[in-house]
Amino acid sequence: MKAGVATAPKLEFTGERIVPGKTAESLFREHEERYVFAAQYVSGKDVLDVACGTGIGTSLLRGAGARKVWGIDIDPDTIAFARSNYKDCEFVQGEATALCLPDSSVDVVVSFETLEHVKNQQEFLVECCRILKPGGVLICSTPNRGISRWSAGNPFHVREMHPVEFRDLLGSVFASVELFAQKNRAYLLYVARTLTLRALERLRLKSSFKRLLGVGASANAFRAEFVNDTSALSRSIDPYCSSFLRQPTFLIAVAHKEPK
């Protein structure tokens, strides 16, 4: 290595950040779909990606026509990785509740799977609103508690929300909120399957049952890049429709700041 030239850290996948080449296809695609959805709002805009992680989604927003894109994340190694791999964007280490941009300085704030990690969620949303220009847009996502409550709890999540809670929280800060659903599930079938697999796991029969059904028969695929043809990806994200029998795995909000 030449003197004075830093190398990007080799990141391991912990489950909390997407690491290109080390994240299972299903999880990688979920994040990809969210950024493709956000891309329709960024053409010609100044954009901030909060909790940007490795920067792969931040770079997608720049490639979608954003005028300028910043990425911010609390982890220094992750920021070093992003700076080394995605030179079309600017990356900075920082806190989500103390964003290092002036008031009314960006058109769009994107923040996926961040809100549930924040202790003071309203403070975070107020900070996002502060840096948005009048009429600016926040696009954020969070797990739907109606689905996630049936899975093992995530120790990194401070508070997960049901759709009404999510909408009301955003509505307390922003002038208008549109809610979208990602990865809808047949609720009763999902609960029954989850409880069955949990019981089989206690009996140490889960692996045998999944092999019988052909689930997990092939090894997980891994990708290091988002796909070039993104035309079909956002089709898994639809306007939210309240229904007990059909519930989204993730909620996505498009919240608008009051125009002056």
28-57: pLDDT as tens digits: 999 999 999 999 999 999 999 999 999 999
- According to DSSP, residue 32 is labeled H
Quick check: 159 pLDDT over 80? yes
Which tokens sit at 95? 């806190």
DSSP 149: T
Residue 115 per-residue DSSP state = G
Which one is the CATH code of 25-185+219-256: 3.40.50.1390, 3.40.50.150, 3.10.560.10, 3.30.390.50? 3.40.50.150
The pTM is what?
Answer: 0.89
Contact (CB, 8 A) for 97 and 130: no
Phi, psi of 205, deg, nearest 5? -115, 0
Share of the chain above pLDDT 90, in %: 71
Contact between residue 131 and residue 101 where contact means Cβ atoms under 8 Å apart: yes
Domains of the chain, by residue range, sit at 25-185+219-256
Nearest by Cα to 163 from 129, 187, 135: 187
- Give the pairing of strands 176-186 and 237-239: antiparallel
Summary mean pLDDT of the chain: 89
Q: What is the pLDDT of residues 136-155, one digit of tens each?
A: 999 999 999 999 999 888 88
Residue where the block lists tokens 């979920």: 30
Task: Give the 3-state secondary structure of residue 200.
Answer: helix
